Amino acid sequence: MMDTEKRMAGDYEIIQAITLGDKEVVLGENLQAPPDEQYMCAFCRHTEMALFYEEVMAYDSYLDAAKDFADRLKEQCIRIEVERRQPAIEGIDDSPITADRCTVIDGNDDLRNQFVVIRQDVLRREYRAATHQLKFCTGGFGAMPHAHGHACFCVDLYTDKEARYERRDILGTMTRAQLPDWAKRGYEKYRQAKNHDKRKTNY
């Protein structure tokens, strides 16, 4: 049986890692470090180019590092709970969108400039809700019919954030008429911003 490759952060082996919300919490060990720095806890930010470890704390005790690890996870849980309550405060039905509520796509579909629904199972468990599923697809090679590429670039209709998904991540499409009111407002906000940007470039 082959050994799995160790994940390292500098000289520390990452022995625990949990992603919760927008951050990954990691716990590292380096028994060759000075006694008061043999364990560390940090947040890890992932980009396409590299991993960045932030808010790094070193400890002489595994238990102290583990307590920090648990505290950071609890902090993330509280942040997500606050975030997940917001749709309910706004009167939004945030129940997940399933196949019976949209038109399931196949390889013939052109997803460019379409309202798309992301599959629940590609989202982290804490984000499996309508406000994280509904996007406006702006393009990408994966958005084309009979696509040879995979990338679909999308704008979130709840937060306005841009994100990249694979074509296989997309469950289906919805018409503008099928969109819930909050998503229609999100699309209108996006459209107005795009028109404003176009006017600025024409000056």
Residues 112-166: pLDDT tens digits? 999 999 999 999 999 999 999 999 999 999 999 998 889 999 999 999 999 999 9
DSSP conformational letter for 24: E
Residue 201 has pLDDT above 70, yes or no: no
**Domain coordinates of the chain in residue numbers?**
8-89, 99-201
Beta strand pairing call for 114-118 and 134-139: antiparallel
pLDDT at 164: 95
